[in-house]
Amino acid sequence: MRKYVSILAIVLFTSLACFAQTKDFSMGMSYQTKQGDETYKSLLGMNFDLYQENGFFYGFELAFNLEGIPEDVNYTGTINLGQFSEDFRGDYASNVIKFGGRVGRAFGDFNIIGTLGLNFLEEFQLRYDEYNILGNNGTYGVATGNNPVEGYYKLGLSYKIDKFLPEIGYSNNGISIGLNYML
C-alpha cells in the first residue's frame, strides 16, 4: 500500500511540474525523530516542491515510520484482543503515515518553510509469547482498532548550496533533517 501511494504521489506531482508555470522543482528526503513518545520514534519522508517566479513555493511531504509493526509479526485477524491477554505487557506501538502540504518563501538562497498536515496512526498492542511460538522470538503485535488521526505542523529552514538544499525543521513529530535536490 505504501509503495502505491508513494508512486502515485511521484507520478502526480511530476505531471503537475511538467505542465505548471514554475521556475524550479525540487525533491528530497528527510528523517524525523521524536523523543519521549511511546508509540513511534522516527519517520522517513520525502517531499516535493514547485518554485514559482515570485519566490514562493508549494509542495507536499509524505512520511512513514521506521519502527512499526512489520507484517511478519502482525497477528491481527489471527488473534483478537481478548485472546492470550496474558501475553500483553502494557506496551503499545503505532504504524504512522504522515501527509502534509508545504508552503514556503525563498529569500535568495535562504528558504522558510511551513507545513500543515495529518498523521494517520494504527495502534498495536505489543505482546510477548514466552514459548516463542508466535511472532519474532515471541514478540508480536495485535491491532487495537484505535486509529487516531492527529494534526501535524512543521516550521523549517533551508539554504541552497548549488543544486542542494539542506533542511532542518521542528514539528510536533519532533526534529527533522533533510536534503532536497533542485531538478
Cα–Cα distance for residue pair 86/81, rounded to 1 Å: 11
**Helix H or strand E encompassing 125:** strand 110-128
Residue 163 to residue 154: CA distance in whole angstroms: 23
For residue 11, is pLDDT > 80?
Answer: no
Answer yes or no: is pLDDT of 39 > 80: no
Strand-pairing partners, residue 173, are none
Is residue 165 within 8 Å of residue 158, measured between CB atoms? yes
Topology of the domain covering 2-66+90-120+146-182 = Porin (2.40.160)
Nearest to 180, CA basis, from 169, 167, 170, 162:
167
Per-residue pLDDT tens for 126-159? 999 999 888 878 889 999 999 999 999 999 999 9
CA separation for the pair 144, 27 (Å, rounded): 36
3-state class of 10 per DSSP?
Answer: helix
Letter for the amino acid at 165?
A: L
Check whether 10 has a pLDDT greater than 70: no
On the question of pLDDT at 96 being above 80, the answer is yes
Could you state, in order of their start, the residue ranges of all structural domains in the chain? Answer: 2-66+90-120+146-182
* Residue 2 CB burial class (10 angstroms; 0-12, 13-18, ≥19): exposed
Report the candidate in 15, 3, 17, 16 with the shortest Cα–Cα distance to residue 46: 3
CB 102 within 8 A of CB 63: no
What percent of the chain stands above pLDDT 70? 85
Residue 30 host element (H or E): strand 24-33
Interior/surface letters 95-115, b for 16+ CB within 10 angstroms, e for the rest? bbbbbbebebebeeeebebeb
Report pLDDT for 41.
Answer: 75
pLDDT band at 37 (very low <50, low <70, confident <90, very high): low
What mean pLDDT, rounded, does the chain reach? Answer: 87
More confident residue, 97 or 17: 97
For residue 66, name the pLDDT band (cuts at 50, 70, 90): confident
Query: Rounded to 5 degrees, what angle do the CA atoms 69, 137, 135 make?
Result: 45
List, in order, residues 6 or more apart from 15 with CB less than 8 Å away: none
Amino acid 21: pLDDT: 58
